[in-house]
């Protein structure tokens, strides 16, 4: 149990209107008038207004958090609406921060809302985070998770963490003053491409609602003070089996940013740290656009088109005339490819097929290989609109 993160801040009395709005909080002795006043005085930054950020923003605004910052550079897409409940159909193609701002203001006009329609990066993170008591991480990529963690450690504020994939979620509170940070748990990121994104692997729509709500709950406990927070604990949730379990976390003495002798004293290049920058010595991968592939097919060029998606994906949007070899079987089935023909690899959005080409190069395959740029979704968008984009 830790005290409130804003215990030293002067808080003013609640108005009659606020007492009416937040009366169900006031009836809880663990919160009461003083706790609600702290909630009103608190400043929370939410990074990302997607699956996790959506429920966090809604519940924290409803709870009366005084200043709510939201950071996102993306726009609303139709595929977001299955889980990102802060946005609606009419918001498609709008900036997410604008859509989220409208919903938050309608829910609670008393919240001071600060929007950042930008990508959080090493050059702006400290400047943005420094004005907040807590940062809540609703991101979906490793480079931003490490960035948020490091910025939070350097500024001495708690980082309320959540992540989701398919049916599984995680949540914790990383606060270096009182326990481990994200780097203590994950010293280094996985190799690029090893862990697919939700855009490639899928996610059950209600899962981010559950995990994001847990993050909102942890944020409120940090503000009010009291209760058992997730500092030093990693909560794991399996939605398909409806099971929770918990892992105890320890502070890593040799952690490079919060350990006894830290080596990181400023924000670094997180794209490079996560291995996402192109190796200048690496052979480039040739690409074909969907329209270029259509032209070559119509011309009768000698091609072999290899679909590396999983069976359930192929059922969503089958690609005519393709041969099916899942990514995990690629190296052991290399003998099925004809090196004398040009080979085009395709997946959903053109990312996994890059790894298939690299794996075949390392295995010694000498045939000409192409990646279908932006994958099957580009074919559905630019060539065959009878196919769905997913």
Q: Indicate the residue among 273, 300, 324 that finishes a domain.
A: 273
Q: What is the mean pLDDT of residues 334-359?
A: 93
Q: Quick check: is 208 in a domain?
A: yes
Domains in the chain: how many in total?
2
pLDDT surpassing 80 at residue 265: yes
Whether residue 11 lies inside any domain: the answer is no
Lowest model confidence (mean pLDDT) among 132-136, 226-230, 240-244, 272-276: 272-276
Residues 312 and 234 in one domain: no
Q: In this structure, is residue 388 part of a structural domain?
A: no
Residue 249 shares a structural domain with residue 298: no
Asked, for residue 291, whether it belongs to a domain, the answer is: yes
User: Nearest-CA neighbor of 285 among 343, 209, 211, 213?
Assistant: 343
Beta carbons of 175 and 78 less than 8 angstroms apart? no
Alpha helices for the chain (secondary structure H):
16-21, 23-26, 32-41, 53-63, 96-107, 125-129, 142-155, 182-185, 198-201, 207-224, 270-273, 290-299, 311-316, 352-362, 375-382
* CATH number of the domain where residue 52 is located: 3.40.50.720
Buried b (16+ CB within 10 A) or exposed e, 265-281: eebeebeebbeeeeeee
Q: Please report whether residue 355 resides in a domain.
A: yes
pLDDT for res 281: 62
Confidence of residue 201 (pLDDT cuts 50, 70, 90): confident
Q: Let me know whether 131 and 264 are in one domain.
A: yes
In a domain, 1, yes or no: no
Domain of 316, in residue numbers: 287-382
pLDDT (average), residues 83-109 = 98
Q: What is the pLDDT of residues 11-63, one digit of tens each?
A: 789 999 999 999 999 999 999 999 999 999 999 999 999 999 999 999 999 99
Same domain for 153 and 240: yes
312 shares its domain with 230: no
Q: Does one domain contain both 222 and 348?
A: no
Residue 4 lies in a domain: no
Give mean pLDDT, residues 53-80: 97
| Domain end residue (candidates: 273, 301, 321) | 273
264 and 356 in a single domain? The answer is no
Catalytic residue positions, numbered? 198, 347
Give the CATH number, domain containing residue 305.
Answer: 3.40.250.10
151-182 residue pLDDT tens: 999 999 999 999 999 999 999 999 999 999 99
To the nearest whole number, what is the mean pLDDT of the chain? 94
Mean pLDDT, residues 301-324 taken together? 92
> In a 3-state reduction of DSSP, which class is residue 104?
helix
Mark which of 250, 273, 296 sits at the end of a domain.
273
Instruction: Verify that 234 and 371 share a domain, yes or no.
Output: no
Q: Within this chain, do residues 267 and 323 fall inside the same structural domain, yes or no?
A: no
pLDDT band at 355; cut points 50, 70, 90: confident
Residue 109 neighbours by CB distance under 10 Å: 9
Distance CA 214, CA 256 (A): 28
The yes-or-no verdict on residue 139 having pLDDT over 90 is yes
- Give yes or no: residues 188 and 214 share one domain: yes
Q: Is residue 346 classed as helix, strand or coil in its secondary structure?
A: strand
Are 185 and 163 in a shared domain? yes
By the 8 A CB rule, do 169 and 78 touch? no
Statement to judge: residues 214 and 309 lie in one domain: no
Residue 237: enclosing H or E segment and its boundaries? Answer: strand 233-238
Strands 287-288 and 243-248: unpaired
Concatenated DSSP letters of 59-75: HHHHHT-SEEEEE---B
């Amino acid at each position: 149990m830790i005290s409130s993160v804003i215990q030293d801040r002067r808080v003013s009395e609640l108005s009659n209107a606020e007492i009416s709005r937040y009366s169900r909080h006031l009836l809880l002795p663990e919160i009461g008038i003083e706790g609600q006043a702290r909630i009103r005085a608190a400043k929370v930054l939410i990074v990302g207004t997607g699956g996790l950020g959506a429920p966090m923003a809604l519940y924290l605004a409803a709870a009366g958090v005084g200043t709510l910052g939201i950071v996102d550079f993306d726009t609303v897409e139709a595929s977001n609406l299955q889980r990102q409940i802060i946005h609606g159909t009419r918001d498609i193609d709008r900036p997410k921060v604008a859509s989220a701002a409208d919903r938050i203001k309608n829910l609670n006009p008393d919240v001071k809302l600060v929007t950042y329609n930008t990508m959080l990066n090493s050059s702006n993170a400290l400047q943005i985070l420094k004005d907040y008591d807590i940062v809540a991480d609703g991101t979906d990529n490793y480079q931003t998770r490490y960035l948020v963690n490091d910025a939070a450690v350097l500024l001495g504020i708690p980082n309320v963490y959540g992540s989701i994939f398919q049916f599984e979620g995680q949540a914790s509170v990383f606060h270096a003053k009182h326990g481990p940070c994200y780097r203590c748990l994950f010293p280094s990121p996985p190799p690029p491409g090893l862990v697919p994104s939700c855009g490639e692997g899928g996610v059950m729509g209600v899962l981010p609602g559950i995990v994001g709500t847990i993050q909102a709950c942890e944020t409120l406990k940090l503000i009010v003070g009291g209760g058992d927070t997730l500092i030093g604990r990693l909560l794991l949730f399996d939605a398909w089996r409806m099971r929770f379990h918990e892992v105890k976390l320890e502070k890593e003495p040799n952690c490079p940013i919060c350990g006894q002798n830290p080596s990181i004293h400023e924000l670094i290049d997180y794209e490079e740290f996560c291995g996402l920058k192109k190796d200048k010595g690496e052979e480039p991968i040739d690409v074909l656009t969907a329209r270029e592939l259509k032209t070559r097919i119509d011309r009768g060029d000698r091609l072999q088109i290899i679909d590396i998606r999983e069976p359930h994906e192929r059922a969503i949007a089958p690609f005519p005339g393709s041969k099916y070899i899942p990514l995990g079987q690629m190296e052991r089935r290399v003998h099925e490819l004809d090196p004398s023909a040009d080979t085009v690899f395709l997946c959903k959005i053109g990312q996994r097929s890059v790894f298939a080409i690299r794996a075949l190069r390392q295995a010694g395959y000498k045939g000409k290989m192409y990646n279908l740029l932006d994958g099957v979704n580009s074919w559905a968008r630019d060539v065959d609109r009878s196919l769905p984009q997913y």
